[in-house]
Chain A
Amino acid sequence: MEAKLNADKTDWSPFPYLDDQDVISVQRGPEPGGLPGAYRAFGETLRGLKTTFGRIIEGPVTIQYPEEKTPVYPRFRGRHKLHRFEDTGLEKCVGCSLCAAACPADCIRVVAEENDPENRVSAGERFAEVYEINLSRCIFCGYCEVACPFDAITMGHDYEMSDYNRSDLIFTKEMLLAEPIDRTPLRSEGE
């Protein structure tokens, strides 16, 4: 394939791709004023009134927030959750700190500790002695979820996390392991 050089070009018009048939004339509305204008204005006013009246018949579409909550999609990234194995009740987190390493906002703090074989906390060799997420820094990117080799941390559906103190936004392991008090509604199929 040979590149076409400018030297070979013969048509130097500013719109080389526009044929005459491609030129579209601008569609203008009717001129304002006069008797036709008044007639149109009257008609359009009635059309507007009809439009707003239609809203009364259709009824409100707003969601009464504190009582009703907006349903979220299944993949919505809300507040983190830590998980346990369902059968043994042991924590899935083994304190590897990969989530902390993946975190772009640097909001996860993990301190690992050796498991006592008599009284295991996690299934692995070590467990997370301290697991804190500073939710005031978290950007809810979900990288921690991706980084976790044991699916121990996932992003939940909770989005009501406002609080009065910054220190209250540092979520400890116990808080992250616990189920949220109010379940956030999930969007049903096709909603």
Chain B
Amino acid sequence: MLLGEVDFVESTGVMVVKSVLIFIGVFLIVPVLTVVERKLIGRFQARYGPNRVGPGGVMQPLADVGKLLGKQVFRPENAIAFLYAIAPGLVILSGILTLAIIPFGNVEDGVGLYGIDVSIGVLYFFAFSSFAFYGLLLAGWASGSKYSFLGAMRSAAQLISYEVSMGLALLGVVMMAGSLSMTSIVEAQGSIWYVVPQFVGFLIFMISGFAETNRSPFDLPEADAELVQGFQTEYGGMRFGSFLLAEYLEMFVVSGIAVTFFLGGWMGPGPPWLDPVWVVVKILSLIFVFIWVRATLPRVRYDQLMSLGWKVMLPLATLNVLVTAILVTVL
């Protein structure tokens, strides 16, 4: 098998149709997620959350987008125009590209229910999820503002700290499944979901996932209390909205990867047509965990973030990989 080889190729028409479908589906989920998150956080804090726009507040995303679109398009004087403008695009692009490899189901009637099935699945995921940080760094640097710059520096440091342990956490699964391809990894979980044998890896992946998506308690790059939204300080209107969209997209993608690697992907009781439903249900329950954690934990201090990443997560992930390697070889 060649590196970068695609296991299963369909006709171009099918590819286009399913890309558009997955794209639209996820983009429709994102606004729903924003309102669900606000409602849920409200409930976690013993209040209602948004309930004024539409019945029960369900039209809140429309109102939000309308507000963002109505904002003046503004750029600070000492910002670098071109980079300032493309940075949000890069972040969204990264989210969409990583979305492509999340399998929503197996090959059915000659159509794979995923964007593409690359045989280098994990590497593809890391390559393009790290791509988002170019966007963040560019945004922070091109804004020409000290808060943005500090936020960007923090996100860079955070990425380096957590990317490593995230990769090692997935390595255990890759060794057990003996493949980098997402579909083969899901198929290898037919007897038992990897969350059981790889529980440590799952925890490490989720904690790194919080850091990767800049979600609380690791939302230091945007720390609204001290950095006034960090790298997004100088962004307004729909450009700010794009960062928000990218954040939810990344949350969806990280949950999707966790579902694929640890929670058995499309595995679940019921007929095969239920497969995508199972994937979405699993992803949404992981997103619930994301929101739950956000409602619970306070933001960690910068040095705590660093020491957790390098002194706890990395050794733990390495140990996990070593033990898995030995067990896989021996058994």
Contacts and interface: CB of A to CB of B under 8 A. Distances in A.
Contact of B48 (A38, A53, A60): A60
A183 interface: no
B296 A49 contact: yes
A53 B297 CA distance: 12
B26 interface: no
B47 interface: yes
Interface in A124-140: none
A172 interface: no
B23 interface: no
Contact of A62 (B48, B292, B312): B48
Q: How large is the interface on B (under 10, 10 to 19, 20 to 34, 35 or more residues)?
A: 10 to 19
Interface in A50-96: 51-53, 55-56, 58-62, 64
Interface in B8-33: none
A38 B312 CA distance: 9
B2 interface: no
Interface residues of A, number: 15
A35 to B, nearest CB: 11
B299 to A, nearest CB: 14
Interface stretch (B37-45, B71-79, B246-254): B37-45
B48 A55 contact: no
A66 to B, nearest CB: 10
A74 to B, nearest CB: 28
A49 B26 CA distance: 28
Contact of A48 (B40, B42, B296): B296
A52 B295 contact: yes
B326 interface: no
A55 B45 contact: yes
Contacts of B43: 55-56, 59-60
A14 B45 CA distance: 49
Interface string B214-257: 00000000000000000000000000000000000000000000
Contacts of A49: 292-293, 296
Interface in A4-39: 38
A36 to B, nearest CB: 14
11 contacts: A45-B296, A48-B297, A49-B293, A51-B296, A52-B45, A55-B45, A55-B46, A60-B46, A60-B47, A61-B46, A64-B48
Interface of B: 40, 42-48, 51, 292-293, 295-297, 312
The 10 residue pairs across chains A and B that have the minimum distance between CB atoms: A62-B47, A52-B296, A52-B44, A48-B296, A56-B43, A55-B46, A61-B46, A60-B48, A60-B47, A52-B295
